[in-house]
Amino acid sequence: MMKERLVGKTLTELDQIALELGLPRYTGKQLASWLYDKRVNSVDEMTNLSRQARTRIDERYTVGWSLPCGEALSSDGTAKYLFAVGDGQKYIESVYIPDKTRATLCVSSQIGCKMNCYFCMTGKQGFSGNLSAAEIINQVVSVPHSRSLTNLVFMGMGEPADNVEEVLKAVEILTAPWGVGWSPKRITISSIGLQKGLQRLLEQCSCHIAISLHSPYHLERESLMPVEKANPLSSVIPLLKRYDFSGQRRISFEYILFKGLNDSPAHAKELVRILAGIPCRVNLIRFHAIPGVDLQTSDMQAMEQFRDYLSSHRITCTIRASRGEDILAACGMLSTLKNKK
C-alpha cells in the first residue's frame, strides 16, 4: 500500500489522523510542529513521539517533502526550480527572486493553465491538473533559500482562483501559528479575475490580491485574455470595490505594456477611470517575447509616460524590473513543455 503524505495536512486533519491511529489528539499538534516548523524528512525524526506512536504513523504515512529535480540560475541572481508532481511525470516551476532586503518566491498553483492568455507561455502549455496543498507548500519549504524567504507570490504557473480549495488550504498552513507561521501580509495571490474563486479568496483569507488587468477595454482585453468574456472587468471591478483595501491588506493591478496596443494615453486615462475609488498600486510590466506571439514590448519612454499619468492622478504606479529572462523565469515565461534538464 502506498503511504499517504503528511505534508499538506491541516491541524484538524492531523488531529484526526492521531485519533484514528489510537494516539492522543495532541499528537496532531506535535506532528504539525515537526512538519512545518522543524521540517523533518522522516517520521522517525519526530523524537518527542514514542517509538510505538512513530511506528503506527510510519506504517501508513510518509512526511512527503520532495526536493527540486532541476534548477537554472540567472545572471541577475534569480533562480528557477523544477519540481516533479502528481505521478512524477509532470512538472511545475517556481522562481526565487532575491532583491536587496527582500527574498521572494513565486509559486505555481496548477500544472499548466486553462486560461490561455495570448501572451503567456504557461497558457500555451495547456492544463494538466491542479496542485494539491502539499505540492504548493512543498515549493516553499524545499527550495534552498526557504528559511530566508521574506515574501511569497502566487504568480507562477496556473490561476489560483481556479484551484481555490487547495490554495486556501495552503495559505492556512502557511499562516497558521501551528503551521509555517507567516503573516498573510507577506503573501500575494494573483488572479485574472475568475469571480467565484476570487470572491472566496477575498472573503476567506487576508493575503494581498493582485489582478492581472492588461487592458481597460472589454474587447481588447478579451482578445488578450479569453476570461474577459465570462468574467468582464465591468463585473470584477465592482466586486473588488466591496472590500476594504485602505488598511494593511493591499490590492494591486498587473499591467503588461504592449507596444502600440495598450500603452496609449487613452488607455492610461481609461485605467484611471475604472480604478477610481480603489486604493491600489499599478505595476507596469515589460512584455517578454515568446514564440508564436506577434506582440512587442513598449519602449521605456512610453512606459514612463504611462506611469507618470497614473501617478499624477493619485494612483501609485511602478515599473517592475524584469528578472530572470535569460532562464525563461520572467513574467509569462514559465512552462514545462520541454523535458526537464
Q: Which residues are annotated as a binding site for [4Fe-4S] cluster?
A: 113, 117, 120
Instruction: Give 235's strand partners.
Output: none
Name the β-bridge partners of 313: none
Find all residues with CB under 8 Å of 230, minimum gap 6, and list them.
none
Rounded CA-CA distance 107/157 in Å is: 7
State yes or no: is 331 an active-site residue.
Answer: yes
Q: Which of 205, 280, 317, 331 is catalytic?
A: 331
**Residues 335 and 121: beta-carbon distance below 8 Å:** yes
Question: Which of 112, 111, 93, 94 lies closest to 103, judged by CA?
Answer: 94
Q: How many CB atoms lie within 10 A of CB 39?
A: 17
Question: Exposed/middle/buried for 317, CB within 10 Å: 0-12, 13-18, 19+?
Answer: buried
- Which is the catalytic residue, given 93, 135, 166, 172? 93
Establish whether 69 is a catalytic residue: no
Strand partners, 91: 84
Under a CB-based contact definition with an 8 Å cutoff, are residues 258 and 284 in contact?
no
Map 272-290 to HEC letters: HHHCCCCCCEEEEEECCCC
Cite the annotated binding site for S-adenosyl-L-methionine by residue number. 158-159, 190, 212-214, 288
Taking the CA of residue 9 as centre, how many other CA atoms within 13 Å lie in the half-sphere pointing to its CB? 25
- Spatial neighbors of 89 by CB under 8 A, at least 6 apart, are none
DSSP 8-class letter at 247: S
CA distances from 5 to 13, 218, 271, 336 (A): 12, 44, 46, 25
Binding-site residues from annotation: 113, 117, 120, 158-159, 190, 212-214, 288
Query: How large is the angle between the packed helices 164-175 and 133-142, nearest 10 degrees?
Result: 40
Which active-site residues does the annotation give? Answer: 93, 331
